Amino acid sequence: MLTDLLAQLTGESWYHEQITHIAKVPAAKTEPARVALPPILQNYLDGKGITLYKHQCKVIEVVRAGKDVIITTPTASGKTLAFNLPIFEGLLADPQGCALYLYPLKALANDQRGKLLELERETGLDLLPSVYDGDTPAGKRGRIKQVSRLILTNPHALHYYLPWHHQWSRFFSNLRYIVIDEAHRYRGVFGTNVALLLRRLERILNHYGSSPQVILSSASVANPVDYARALTGREVVSIDKGTSARGERQVLFWDALLDPSHSITTQAAKLLAFLTSAGVQTLCFTGSRMMAELIARTAHGMGARKVLPYRAGYLPRERREIESGLRERQIEGVVSTSALEAGIDIGSLDAVILVGFPGSLLSAWQQAGRAGRGSDPSLIVYIPYENPLDRYFLHHPVEFLGEERERIVIQPDNPRLAAWHLTCAAAELPLRPEEVSPKEGSLLDELAANAVLTKTPRGMIYRGRKRAHEILSMDSIAGEGIKLTCEGKLLETMDPLRARRDAYPGAVLLHRGETYVVEDLKLEEGVARLRQEKVDYYTKSMRTSVVKILTVQESHSCPSIAIERGRAQVTESFVGYKTIHFDRTISVDALDLPAHTYETDALWITFPRDISGIPPEKLLGGLHGAEHALIAMAPLLVLCERDDIDGVSTPLHEETGLPTILIFDEIEGGAGLAEVLFTSLHRLAAEALKLVSDCPCENGCPSCIYSPRCGNYNRPLDKEGAIRALCLLVEETVRD
């Protein structure tokens, strides 16, 4: 059927040979298995006609054996059932036993509660599975704390409940399992906060004499065991091989630039309309809410009547209607942001269109995994944007289809976050000297010197006046927010660092689909004033950074270049902003904002004064281009947003005295990204080299060495020089 469909597609009048490559991923055979279960649970499975797969049985055995585990099998492989079965078995055997389920978002916890209620009903267990978070009505809270044996919540809420631990003493004393679902979402600052929160939880559980098992469930990542250790402090067993059935997949690589007369949006809408009208139920993923609305509307205009947009921000009822419409095939197509990537039960579809690379292979395959019903064949269409990472995968389908995944890192050593969580811990139970590491000990001394904590015979206690738990927030490191207001009304708050980048005077901001222009930004007062105005352009700030090396933590010598990593001090200034209309810069304006200085993790590469093959006048352009390419490829190795990493390059760096490229975590205190890039520099350089040398352009373009965020307007850049510099880096970093 797919073959016919392709023949029909390539015969359409609007088709201009955009398909550059078709890859086939062979079907996978199912491996069923059996494991002895208590009759109640076995009857439940029999009643539903469910046969377990081998990997699910393995999960059951590992959890039964009392081990901590991380499950990273593919989307739709039945991960949730696999850990729910042994947990229910355990709770069946221990009538007091309790389980805590952590979800990154409230909506996911609510969705999961439905499944747990069903399992509870069918098995006749009395657990009162309950969501306990900010939305739980006051009248229900007491009973949940006293009676419920299965509580679902999110890290933000848990953070605020820990100081009230005595109210949870029944639940905490009997806690046997902690489930951390969608664990891959805990990265960057949020992930680091969650890791530190879990340490605090463990300490309180210790106080109540319990030590529960930890079960993590996550999308595929390159380093499940290391990541689980960083997040939970435990040594876990990893189960990563899925054994569920999967039909053949066809992946189409679609180069929208080959039809310059139609935008990517239009081409995606055409494809969506074509597939849905051929009876192929399709889910289309895009990067932004606006794009989701636009593609759905365009497809609708082309005659695709049963296509709807979906995004976070819709009312729960609207969302549920779309979800059940998809499951029951009432709806033929949906255009969604990553909100539908996983966690929400929508069943499986026939085809998935990825408009733009979603930032990581992890996300790409979570999204693509939505296609494929049982062992039926499925279709995936990848339509890249014009940027380096998107275009890289268009030209390198093997890398797109490969098994390799990104690493996921967090940085519990980030001094600012570690100090905050120590403060919170000391406000929960007196913090005894033997509970902290030497590194934390020096943070404690600092906190005591600043009169935040004080020493008592029972340990360090919190003595500040503000609630310890409100000093910082779980999402951001910058603390107090800037209020964005329009005619005296509060629109939203933004952390000061983001405000400098996005809410400078003259900036265009989107809020609930409306455009606003920033009139002024007063950082000290914490206010930005906006006016609502319909504009058809957008703006982008440009920044320059000065990086000072503070300490060297690790170094690697090569024949002619040197690679080091350590701590650095970054001073960033926003120098101006561009006004862009239909992808064209129409004006550049200067900005006058105070500079911001912070400490972070960095790596730097020093080159010899003369790099063979690069004439002196091309040196800076070459280094600059190589820096852009290295940063562009970083998301291939480690899960991060494009904005999390930045760099500078110079032909003569003040401290090294040599031509230098510096790359650093653009997160105050550091997020551990530079360390991963340092360790995998050879692969990073090799991918960057492939990106640049395989790009068909002549002198560099937005698909290879141009960076949309460059504070120097992408000048100077030299493609030839960049290739030479990267070649040298690749050659010299080969290790045996």
C-alpha distances (whole Å) from 645 to each of 627, 635, 665, 723 are: 11, 9, 5, 21
Q: How far is the CB of 412 from other proteins (least distance, A)?
A: 23
Q: How far is the CB of 167 from other proteins (least distance, A)?
A: 9
Q: How far is the CB of 196 from other proteins (least distance, A)?
A: 18
Task: Select 39 or 457, whichever has its Cβ closest to other proteins.
Answer: 457
- C-beta neighbour count of 275 within 10 angstroms: 24
Q: Determine the size of the site formed for other proteins (CB under 8 A).
A: 23
Binding span for other proteins by CB under 8 A among 84-92, 171-179, 421-429, 500-508: 421-429
Query: Which two three-digit tokens encode residue 180?
Result: 């951390």
Binding span for other proteins by CB under 8 A among 24-32, 33-41, 453-461, 719-727: 453-461
Residues between 316 and 345 with contacts to other proteins, criterion CB under 8 A: none
Whole-angstrom Cα Rg for the chain? 27
Q: Binding to other proteins by residue 200, rule CB under 8 A?
A: no
Q: How far is the CB of 99 from other proteins (least distance, A)?
A: 23
C-beta separation of 408 from 187 below 8 A: yes
Sign of the torsion angle spanned by Cα atoms 689, 693, 697, 700: positive
Task: Select 422 or 691, whichever has its Cβ closest to other proteins.
Answer: 422
Q: How far is the CB of 516 from other proteins (least distance, A)?
A: 36
Residues between 63 and 102 with contacts to other proteins, criterion CB under 8 A: none
Applying CB under 8 A, which of residues 128, 144, 461, 491 lies at the interface with other proteins? 461
Q: Binding to other proteins by residue 432, rule CB under 8 A?
A: no
Residues between 554 and 613 with contacts to other proteins, criterion CB under 8 A: none
Task: Select 459 or 526, whichever has its Cβ closest to other proteins.
Answer: 459
Applying CB under 8 A, which of residues 468, 472, 632, 723 lies at the interface with other proteins? 468
State residue 362 phi and psi, 5-degree precision.
-55, -50
Task: Select 8 or 211, whichever has its Cβ closest to other proteins.
Answer: 211
Residues between 236 and 275 with contacts to other proteins, criterion CB under 8 A: none
C-alpha distances (whole Å) from 562 to each of 554, 616, 674, 681, 729 are: 11, 20, 16, 12, 10
Binding span for other proteins by CB under 8 A among 7-15, 352-360, 427-435, 628-636: 427-435
Q: In sequence order, what are the beta bridge partners of 349?
A: 371
Query: Which amino acid, residue 289?
Result: R
Q: What count of residues does the chain have?
A: 736
Cα–Cα distance for residue pair 67/165, rounded to 1 Å: 26
Applying CB under 8 A, which of residues 464, 481, 505, 702 lies at the interface with other proteins? 464
Applying CB under 8 A, which of residues 8, 10, 146, 454 lies at the interface with other proteins? 454
Q: Is the peptide bond before 716 cis (omega within 30 degrees of 0)?
A: yes
Three-state DSSP class for residue 453: strand
Q: How far is the CB of 454 from other proteins (least distance, A)?
A: 5
Q: Binding to other proteins by residue 463, rule CB under 8 A?
A: yes
Cα–Cα distance for residue pair 713/578, rounded to 1 Å: 10
Three-state DSSP class for residue 683: helix
Task: Select 471 or 558, whichever has its Cβ closest to other proteins.
Answer: 471
Task: Select 464 or 716, whichever has its Cβ closest to other proteins.
Answer: 464
C-alpha distances (whole Å) from 594 to each of 467, 588, 651 are: 30, 19, 27
Site string for other proteins, 140-169 (x = CB under 8 A): -----------------------xxxx---
Q: Binding to other proteins by residue 673, rule CB under 8 A?
A: no
Task: Select 134 or 708, whichever has its Cβ closest to other proteins.
Answer: 134
Query: Which amino acid, residue 692?
Result: V
Q: Binding to other proteins by residue 203, rule CB under 8 A?
A: no
Q: Which residues of 388-410 are buried (b: 16+ CB within 10 A; e: fewer)?
A: bbbbbbbbbbeebbeeebbbbbb
Q: How far is the CB of 206 from other proteins (least distance, A)?
A: 12
Applying CB under 8 A, which of residues 64, 305, 458, 522 lies at the interface with other proteins? 458
Q: How far is the CB of 159 from other proteins (least distance, A)?
A: 13
Q: Which residues of 697-713 are buried (b: 16+ CB within 10 A; e: fewer)?
A: eeebbbbbbbbebbbbe
Q: In sequence order, what are the beta bridge partners of 213?
A: 177
C-beta separation of 180 from 214 below 8 A: yes
Q: How far is the CB of 519 from other proteins (least distance, A)?
A: 36
C-beta separation of 221 from 360 below 8 A: no
Q: Binding to other proteins by residue 430, rule CB under 8 A?
A: yes
Task: Select 466 or 735, whichever has its Cβ closest to other proteins.
Answer: 466
Binding span for other proteins by CB under 8 A among 51-59, 72-80, 423-431, 441-449: 423-431
Task: Indicate the DSSP class of residue 21.
Answer: E
Task: Select 168 or 574, whichever has its Cβ closest to other proteins.
Answer: 168
Q: What angle do CA 492, 322, 362 make, to 5 degrees?
A: 70
Task: Select 169 or 442, whichever has its Cβ closest to other proteins.
Answer: 169
C-beta separation of 481 from 495 below 8 A: yes
C-beta separation of 646 from 541 below 8 A: no
Q: Binding to other proteins by residue 457, rule CB under 8 A?
A: yes
Q: How far is the CB of 461 from other proteins (least distance, A)?
A: 7
Binding span for other proteins by CB under 8 A among 30-38, 89-97, 428-436, 491-499: 428-436
Q: How far is the CB of 37 from other proteins (least distance, A)?
A: 40
**Tally of CA atoms within 13 A in the half-sphere of 622 that contains its CB:** 24
Q: Binding to other proteins by residue 465, rule CB under 8 A?
A: yes
Applying CB under 8 A, which of residues 79, 469, 500, 567 lies at the interface with other proteins? 469
Binding span for other proteins by CB under 8 A among 123-131, 390-398, 422-430, 534-542: 422-430
Cα-Cα-Cα-Cα dihedral of 605, 608, 611, 614, to 10°? 80
Q: How far is the CB of 166 from other proteins (least distance, A)?
A: 3
Applying CB under 8 A, which of residues 256, 334, 429, 614 lies at the interface with other proteins? 429
Query: Mind giving me the DSSP string for 456-479?
Result: ETTEEEE--SS-GGGSS-SS-SS-
Query: Which amino acid, residue 59?
Result: V
**Tally of CA atoms within 13 A in the half-sphere of 631 that contains its CB:** 31
C-beta separation of 492 from 484 below 8 A: yes
Binding span for other proteins by CB under 8 A among 220-228, 341-349, 459-467, 649-657: 459-467
Task: Select 462 or 664, whichever has its Cβ closest to other proteins.
Answer: 462
Sign of the torsion angle spanned by Cα atoms 329, 335, 339, 342: positive
Contacts 24+ apart (CB under 8 A), 293-298: 293/335, 293/513, 294/265, 295/265, 295/268, 295/269, 295/335, 295/355, 296/334, 296/335, 298/265, 298/266, 298/269
Task: Select 117 or 471, whichever has its Cβ closest to other proteins.
Answer: 471
Applying CB under 8 A, which of residues 3, 11, 466, 582 lies at the interface with other proteins? 466
Q: How far is the CB of 337 from other proteins (least distance, A)?
A: 38
Task: Point out which residues bind other proteins (CB under 8 A).
Answer: 163-166, 207, 427-430, 454-458, 461-469
